[in-house]
């Protein structure tokens, strides 16, 4: 059985239901990807690697992971910290804004749980995914330990997968981000950047420019996303352009890239070709953006995928 680890943060999500009621759920890029992967490829063991707390919201989060059939053996419980949280507000024009409480979240401490025995166990896996958000939220002073862990996993044959997923407000400076991304790209076997993510950082504006920028890193598999525009892939030396059918009824683009990543990686682990994997991933992302929120209802999502 194939397996994949999703390393990073899941948060408590709050949004207004009406004037005096909040709707509570759970979301975060790595969790979203894990959910969509598992819904499409039940045969792939899909683990979340994160830290939560010992509070009741953490218990609910853990229960949610389990209800989505995710493996929770690497979900660590911090003694004092609690999960991060964010609140989504939508104004009268439908514009959404986000307020975060995550600067002291348990997930920032996840690297401290990567003990030698945990790393030995993780070394038996097939793929390890982390994003620019995972990298941004971990404590500054744990980055060196994180890179050592990644090197150990890579040496053991685990494929390292990185999505730059750039969120400026999570970083101290562009220079800091670039230095960390440089290490991430140099250790990656697979990367799934979006053009937009790299525009601010490297003044890159096209899928072709992304591929060109990444050339010196010798990454085996590159998948460049560009919203409803085409997806370009580079597998070894083989470049391919894949047409995306634009969705006209876009409701909420939250987690389009996350759904794409999860389903793409699941398809690759299940032995599908790069182009089949892109088609499935694009279908999944196109379905998710027609539903509000990060996680589309399971029945709606699975029905759309079955029809594809």
* Chain contacts with ligand ADP (rule: CB under 6 A): 194, 196, 225-228, 231, 244, 246-247, 250, 253, 256-257, 260, 282, 285-286, 289
Pick 79 or 203: Cβ nearer ligand ADP: 203
Task: Report the C-alpha gap between 129 and 14 in whole angstroms.
Answer: 26
Tokens for 7, please give them: 């390393």
**Which tokens in the block code for residue 16?**
């207004």
Question: Residue 3 in contact with residue 125, Cβ under 8 Å?
Answer: yes
Measured from the CB atom, the residue of 51 and 184 that comes closer to ligand ADP is 184
Map residue 308 onto helix, strand or coil.
coil
Reduced to 3 states (helix: H, G, I; strand: E, B; else coil), residue 131 is: strand
State how far the Cα of 59 lies from the Cα of 247, in Å rounded to an integer: 37
20 is known as an active-site residue: no
Beta-sheet pairing, 231-235 with 238-242: antiparallel
Dihedral-angle region of residue 6 (phi above 0 means left; psi in -120 to 50 means alpha; beta otherwise)? beta
What is d(CA 253, CA 231) in angstroms, rounded to the nearest whole number?
Answer: 17
Q: Which two tokens stand for residue 14?
A: 């709050």
User: End-to-end alpha-carbon separation of the chain, Å?
Assistant: 25
Residue with tokens 């290490």: 183
Query: 43 CB contacts (<8 Å, ≥6 apart)?
Result: 1, 2, 270
Cβ 209 to ligand ADP shortest distance, Å: 15
In the set 29, 163, 197, 258, the catalytic residue is 258
List active site positions. 258
């Amino acid at each position: 059985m194939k397996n994949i680890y999703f390393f990073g943060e899941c948060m408590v999500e709050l949004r207004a239901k009406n004037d005096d009621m909040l709707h509570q759920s759970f979301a975060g890029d790595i969790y979203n990807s894990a959910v969509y992967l598992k819904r499409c490829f039940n045969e792939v063991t899909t683990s979340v690697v994160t830290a939560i707390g010992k509070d009741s919201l953490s218990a609910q989060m853990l229960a949610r992971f389990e209800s989505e059939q995710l493996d929770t053996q690497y979900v660590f419980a911090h003694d004092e910290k609690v999960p991060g949280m964010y609140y989504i507000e939508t104004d009268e024009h439908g514009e959404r804004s986000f307020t975060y409480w995550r600067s002291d979240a348990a997930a920032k401490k996840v690297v401290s749980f990567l003990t030698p025995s945990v790393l030995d166990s993780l070394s038996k896996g097939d793929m390890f995914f982390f994003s620019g958000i995972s990298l941004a939220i971990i404590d500054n002073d744990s980055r060196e330990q994180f890179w050592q862990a990644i090197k150990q996993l890579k040496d053991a044959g685990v494929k390292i997968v990185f999505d730059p997923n750039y969120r400026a407000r999570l970083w101290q400076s562009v220079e800091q981000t670039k230095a960390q991304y440089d290490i991430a790209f140099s250790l990656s076997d697979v990367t799934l950047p979006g053009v937009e993510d790299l525009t601010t950082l490297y003044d890159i504006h096209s899928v072709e420019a992304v591929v060109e920028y990444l050339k010196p890193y010798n990454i085996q598999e590159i998948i460049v996303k560009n919203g409803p525009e085409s997806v370009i892939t580079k597998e070894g030396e083989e470049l391919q352009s894949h047409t995306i059918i634009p969705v006209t009824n876009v409701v909420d683009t939250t987690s389009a890239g996350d759904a794409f990543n999860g389903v793409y990686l699941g398809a690759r682990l299940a032995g599908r070709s790069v182009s089949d994997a892109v088609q499935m991933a694009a279908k999944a992302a196109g379905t998710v953006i027609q539903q509000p929120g990060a996680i589309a209802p399971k029945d709606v999502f699975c029905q759309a995928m079955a029809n594809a």
